[in-house]
A and B are shown apart, each in its own frame.
Chain A
Amino acid sequence: MKTNIYVYILLAGLVSYLLRVVPVTILRKPIKNKYVRSFLYYVPYVTIAVMTFPAILTATGSYVAGALALVVGGLLAWKTESLPLVAAACCLVALVAQMF
């Protein structure tokens, strides 16, 4: 199948908008079911974790650089919670590691 990037983008945009607009216009009620609430609460952490690892290892083309960025970023995120700081540190570590 020949795919088109614009179709991907418009389709994803439509899905993203429906997720946001349906509760505000049609549902208008809080989600009471604790299992559904819990599922939606856990989803982003699992999705983001799955997308981060092992993808970070292959992001630079050097496993060592990726692994070092993961360790330093993980430790720093545990200590500081500062998003820009963690991101910048990961880049710096990856940059230096690639030079060796």
Chain B
Amino acid sequence: MEAKNKRRLFLEGMRDGMPICLGYFAVAFSLGIAARRAGIDAFQGFLMSFLNNASAGEYALITTIAADAGYLEAAVITLVANARYLLMSTALSQRFSPDEKIRHRLLVSYDITDELFGIAIAREGYLEPMYSYGAFAVAIPGWAFGTAFGIIMGNLLPALIVKALGVALYGMFLAIIIPPAKKDKIVGVLVVISFAASFVLSRMPVTADWSEGTRTILLTILIAGAAAVLFPKKEEE
């Protein structure tokens, strides 16, 4: 009975993970197009996505690699771009059964992403690791193979098409930040300020010579930090 229940949970996770897998494949494909420009090969792209499971974080890493900006900057930009997972993980940690085994805590946290966190937290009761593993089993390959496939296709397709596909990632970024900006005015103002400040720093003497990663780290800490002090969010949930 126990084994059967685990199997059922795993299959449920796989079922709910399928649409996520398809979405991941598409996003990862465009990430692969960008990775290829930075000189990352298909296997390296597969490994990067398998180990990181993060779109914005991996894109930031790619720009750091492209600029040959050093390991410290790569570590810091990954920390900044993925900082939101800290918030998700703290939320998820409240949903584990108090006597959940440590190995399940170690494994479930491996792939906390916006989407996989979303489907896990939406369920009732204590977190069921087998459900998350089922979703991971389809989502992780979708993400990792999508990246490798993007790199391979980037080498095969005509340059005109590859350049056009390169814009897809920015389109997805817009689809991530614009709808919340519509609902939360402060987020909207932050997006506009971020666009403007990023543009100015990319053209100004001195800061124009910095890598894109350095500018992103600095602006994120300054703008998000100022917003947190001036407009702290009220307690949610």
Interface residues of chain A, those whose CB is within 8 Å of chain B, are: 1, 3, 5-13, 15-17, 19-25, 27-31, 34-56, 59-61, 65-66, 69-70, 73-74, 77-78, 81-84, 86-95, 98-99
Contacts and interface: CB of A to CB of B under 8 A. Distances in A.
Contacts of B57: 12, 16
A19 B83 contact: yes
Given A19-B85, A44-B56, A51-B212, A98 B164 contact: yes
Contact of A19 (B79, B166, B194): B79
Contacts of B199: 53-54
Contacts of B215: 50
Contacts of B51: 9-10, 12-13, 16-17
A20 B85 contact: yes
Interface in B18-74: 23, 26-27, 30, 39-40, 44, 47-48, 51-54, 56-61, 63-65, 68, 70-71, 74
11 contacts: A17-B109, A20-B112, A21-B89, A23-B92, A30-B90, A35-B229, A38-B233, A43-B220, A50-B216, A51-B212, A77-B174
B80 interface: yes
Contacts of B53: 16
Residue in B44, B54, B170, B228 with the greatest tally of chain A CB atoms within 10 Å: B170
Nearest to A77: B178
A57 to B, nearest CB: 9
A66 B156 CA distance: 23
What 5 A-B pairs have minimum CB-CB distances, sorted nearest first?
A13-B51, A90-B171, A49-B194, A77-B178, A95-B164
Chain B's interface: helix, strand, loop or mixed, by majority?
helix
Given A19-B83, A59-B170, A98-B163, 7 more contacts: A10-B51, A11-B71, A42-B186, A45-B194, A50-B216, A65-B167, A87-B26
A59 B78 contact: no
B84 A43 contact: yes
A10 to B, nearest CB: 7
Contacts of B99: none
B52 A31 contact: no
A99 B164 CA distance: 11
A91 B190 CA distance: 26
B87 A91 contact: no
A88 to B, nearest CB: 7
Interface in B81-136: 81-94, 96, 102, 105-106, 108-110, 112
